[in-house]
C-alpha cells in the first residue's frame, strides 16, 4: 500500500517547518505534563521568572514576559490560589502587588523543570550529548537574535499578531 505517513520533502527541507513542527511537539508534551498539575506553560514561565529574579511587581512580570496585563492577572490569580505564589500589596506604592514565590511554588518549579528534562530526553533521543548541547547553543543564539531583531512590529491588520515574547 502506498500512502504511509510521510511528510512532503518540500516541507522537510524547510528549517522553518521543522522548527515549528518539533517545537510544537515539544510544547505539546510539556503542556501535557503541566496540565496534570493544573498549570499552563506560562504559569511555569511566571514561576521561573520569580525564581530567577526574585519577587516582582505584577507589572514587572508583565513587562518581562511580554504578556497582556489582564492575562497576567489571571495567571497570578490562579497561582496564588494554588499556593505557589504570594501576593502582597506593596507598602510604598499600594497600587502595586508584589508577587513572590512560596516554598511550594519553588518545589513545583523544580518538579516542572524535571518534567521538562524528561520530555527533552524523549524529544532529543536521536541526538547524543554533544549534539544536544550543540542544538541548545544554536537555538539559544537564534532565540537571542529574535529577541533583539523583533523590531519592526509592522502591526499588520492581522488580529492575532504574535509579536511579544510569549511563552505558550
- Contact residues toward DNA (CB under 7 A) are 24, 31, 35, 40-42, 57-59, 62, 67-74, 76-77, 87, 92-97, 159-164, 166-168
66: left (phi over 0), alpha (psi -120 to 50) or beta: left
- Give Rg (Cα) of the chain: 19
- Picked from a copy of itself, DNA, none, the partner binding residue 142 (CB below 5 to 8 A depending on kind) is a copy of itself
**Binding site partner of 93, from a copy of itself, DNA, none, Cβ cut-off 5-8 A by kind:** DNA
Segment interacting with a copy of itself, rule: CB under 8 A, options 74-82, 89-97, 100-108, 137-145:
137-145
Task: Check: CB of residue 26 under 8 Å from CB of residue 123.
Answer: yes
Is there binding between residue 81 and a copy of itself (CB under 8 A)? no
Question: Strand, coil or helix: what is 157?
Answer: coil
> Which of 136, 148, 130, 107 minimizes the C-alpha distance to 26?
136
Q: Report residue 107 as a C-alpha cell.
A: 518545589
- 28 is an interface residue for a copy of itself by CB under 8 A: yes
Q: What are the backbone angles phi and psi of residue 51, rounded to the nearest 5°?
A: -65, -40
Least Å distance, CB 51 to DNA, is: 18
From the CB of 129, what's the least distance to DNA, in Å? 30
Amino acid at each position: 500500500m502506498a500512502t504511509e505517513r510521510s511528510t512532503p520533502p518540500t516541507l522537510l527541507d524547510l528549517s522553518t517547518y521543522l522548527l515549528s513542527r518539533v517545537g510544537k511537539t515539544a510544547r505539546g508534551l510539556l503542556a501535557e505534563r503541566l496540565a496534570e498539575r493544573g498549570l499552563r506553560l506560562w504559569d511555569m514561565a511566571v514561576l521561573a521568572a520569580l525564581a530567577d529574579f526574585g519577587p516582582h511587581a505584577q507589572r514587572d512580570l508583565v513587562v518581562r514576559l511580554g504578556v497582556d496585563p489582564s492575562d497576567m492577572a489571571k495567571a497570578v490569580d490562579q497561582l496564588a490560589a494554588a499556593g505557589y505564589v504570594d501576593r502582597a500589596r506593596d507598602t510604598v506604592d499600594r497600587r502595586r502587588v508584589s508577587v513572590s514565590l512560596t516554598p511550594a511554588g519553588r518545589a513545583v518549579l523544580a518538579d516542572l523543570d524535571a518534567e521538562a528534562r524528561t520530555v527533552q530526553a524523549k524529544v532529543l533521543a536521536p541526538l547524543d550529548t554533544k549534539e544536544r548541547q550543540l542544538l541548545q547553543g544554536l537555538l539559544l543564539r537564534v532565540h537571542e537574535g529574535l529577541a533583539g531583531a523583533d523590531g519592526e512590529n509592522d502591526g499588520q491588520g492581522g488580529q492575532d499578531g504574535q509579536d511579544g515574547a510569549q511563552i505558550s
